[in-house]
Structure 1
Amino acid sequence: MAQSDRSTVGSRPVSGSLVPRKDSPGTDIFRNLSGDCIVRSDLGCYLQTTEFLEKGHNIKIQGLHPACLGGDHYVGSRQDPNIYIIKGSSYRVVQDLSTDKGAQVFELHPRCRGGDHYGRVCWTFFIIFQNQGVIRSVKNLRTAEGENNVVLPPEYCKGLYYFGIDHFLTLIKMDEKWGAQFFLYPDMRFDKLDSFYSIHPKVLNFFPGGLTLTKGTSTGGWECIKTLHNDSDSPIIWSDKVTRKVGYAKQKMSSIEHNWSISTEMSIGAGELTKLITQVQFSLRAEYGGRSVCTEQEDWNEAREEEESIQVTLEPQKNLYIWQYCLGIGQKPVLFCRDLQFTKENNPPDRIPLPPVP
């Protein structure tokens, strides 16, 4: 009886994308006096970079105040110190997402409700009704003062995120050749492109689905960790310990947080945030580079080797293969799952042992 060389059988990677705002509630982006801000309400924090999306410098991660969690949309501009958090039929105005400073709450005017995207160009709010192909601009969200409606050309209805930079309406979309790009259109006029930029990898890592573009798509498959042989003509009872790796290969994902400054006031520290981002990546659909599986119940402690006692009966002239399920990002195994399976043929089990995302 001998142990086989380790081999992994998984599915082929598929191309991925940033997750659009509509499929990632509580994620939004804006530019204000402090720089570019990406809000991840699902992670309870936001990324602030003073050197903008394309630079990736001076990145700081700060926690969201409990009152600022769960917003449908987050809006800001460089002309106004206020940040607008839209939730349902009302909105909250604050000056700091981490402290809830200066909080006020107002009702949205009925004409300002139900938008797919909200942003601000200078002093004007815009609301995009993506399916209707309409962009509505107003001076005031409470009164809908100065309402103006413009048809959004079909080719601009497929943006992932829309936000304002000074007098530019900005949209983020995926380019088949060049990846995630953001495009600037002056005065909300789509007939004149001013400029476009790539998003820096250090910033991409914070977006839902961003790991797909910087590390590769999620992979999953069974790894054969032991092969047993019975070359005799009689059944054999095999009893021994199998060594396997269990847990999270933390060091392989640690580069995500390089050059990120995580606020000391955050309830989670370095490494813990990366773990949460990785968990989310596995839960995403395949089109966003994920696996659509829930991994919260797996062992997310630092990966380590463990021994498990196994006793099996080997039939005459038969083999037995012992498999462990692993998840990876790109070509790197990241999570070594606890589930073991046995097969009589050198073919991996045909089931996925992790529960699907609800």
Structure 2
Amino acid sequence: MNAIELYTTPVGPAQEFGPVHQEGLSSAESIYQDWTPTNGSLVPHKDAPGTDIFYNQRGFFIIRSDLGCYLWTEDPKSGAGIKIQRLHPACQGGDHYLSDSENPPNIYIIKGDTYRVVKDLSTDAEAEVRELAPGCQGGDHYTHCGSWFYIIFQREGGLTYVCDLSTPTRGGHTPLQPDCSKGLFYFTIGKLPTLIKLDEKWGAQCYQYKEFFSNHPRSFSIHPDVLAFFPGGLALTQGASTGGWECIKTLHNDSDSSVTWSDKVTCKVGYTKQQMSSIEHNWSISAEMSIGAGELTKLITQFQFSLKAEYGGRSVRTEQEDWNEAREQEESIQVTLEPKKNLYIWQYQLGIGQKPVLFCRDVQFTKENNPPDRIPLPPVP
């Protein structure tokens, strides 16, 4: 930031410093606007392109095409043995991901009116592309249970089951129980159909059914280390995104003449990586990944800020901000204060929960003790 001249109407000779006193405010006093966290939720499959989950005999998988990787764990409840693996470019951007019970299992990636069958998401091993039968297209969720592929049409409240996605010569259609039509994600553990919903009291819960989405499911929680990798998961494990202006300095001209104030303002700029590092402590990052754990956490944090408020985000883009480790910076400022006037200097911050995470570069000035009325970050379209 270059030296800035404000309130330059001359009234008498300019003076330096004498009649001007300055104050720095504590963070408890100085954050004025929009700092209350919103409620958060996992982003449902329909609003998270290229994201899905499935379970097979190898374990539990969360696919994040937007991050170019997937999470694997032995068990979503315990979070045992979490690994972050590279997602092969040919396996990215699927509309739906599911797996069967073969040994070794096949993984199905549905994209439009075709689907890709692979043995490994990191290597695209034994890839084969097939046509998706017309009756199998347009589903909201796909999973495999026993000998059947299940296609959930959430909006219609029903599901179709077929033995082959490319030639559905056998199968049928059945309605969904109303309670089973509100899942965020659907998958199968063993031969138990499972869906994820957000419970107002208990957070994200997996509901497991003995028969395909019948009554009386058993439920269990998802381990926080696993939950944090879901789109919107940070809102449930760390707290929803927060944002607001902090007054980093105030200037007061108590004299009867204009006063020029010229000095340096110190403010913190950048990303407090240490605040977010806890989410990756139990993650093992594959050597094939081009980024390390800290960089992955940064991308997940950026994604969280970009989400809508209903998913614990702020609907802002932050990629162009300074994401280097936060440090103190000095900026030269020169202003001319009119008699008996004040100047307030503000900086915008973003946080996760109540922890400041990103100190933005933008600094604004106001004459009154009210924060600027705009957010200095581009909105998500």
Q: Distance in 1 between matches of 2:44 and 2:215?
A: 24
**Could you tell me which of 72, 86, 102 is aligned with 1:48?**
72
Alignment of 1:58 with 2:97, yes or no, is: no
Q: Distance in 2 between matches of 1:118 and 1:43?
A: 22
Aligned length: 356
Summarize deviations over 1:204-255 as a string: whole Å, max 9, x none.
1000111111110100000000101101000111111111111110010001
**Could you tell me which of 121, 130, 139 is aligned with 1:106?**
130
Letter in structure 2 aligned against 1:350: D
Summarize deviations over 1:76-103 as a string: whole Å, max 9, x none.
1344511000000000000000000000
**TM-score relative to the length of structure 1:** 0.98
Summarize deviations over 1:130-185 as a string: whole Å, max 9, x none.
11111111110000132210111222211100011122111000000000000111
Alignment of 1:292 with 2:312, yes or no, is: no
| 1:291-330 equivalences in 2 (<5 Å) | 291-330=314-353
| 1:1-358 equivalences in 2 (<5 Å) | 1-6=21-26, 7-11=30-34, 12-50=36-74, 52-80=75-103, 81-193=105-217, 195-358=218-381
CA RMSD of aligned residues (A): 1.0
Percent of residue pairs bearing the same amino acid type: 68
Q: 2:225 is paired with a residue of what secondary structure? A: helix
Aligned partners of 2:204 and 2:222 also within 8 Å: yes
Aligned partners of 2:177 and 2:213 also within 8 Å: no
Q: 2:257 is paired with a residue of what secondary structure? A: coil
Summarize deviations over 1:296-350 as a string: whole Å, max 9, x none.
1111111111111111111101110000000000000000001110011111111
Q: Distance in 1 between matches of 2:307 and 2:169?
A: 40
Structure with the largest fraction of strand: 1
Aligned partners of 1:121 and 1:187 also within 8 Å: no
User: How far does residue 187 in structure 1 lie from its aligned partner after superposition?
Assistant: 3.1
Q: Which runs of 5+ in 1 are unaligned?
A: none
Larger Rg: 2
Q: Which structure has the higher relative contact order (CA within 8 Å, separation 6+)?
A: 2
Aligned partners of 1:45 and 1:63 also within 8 Å: yes
Letter in structure 1 aligned against 2:115: Y
Q: Distance in 2 between matches of 1:212 and 1:77?
A: 31
Q: 2:77 is paired with a residue of what secondary structure? A: helix
**TM-score relative to the length of structure 2:** 0.92
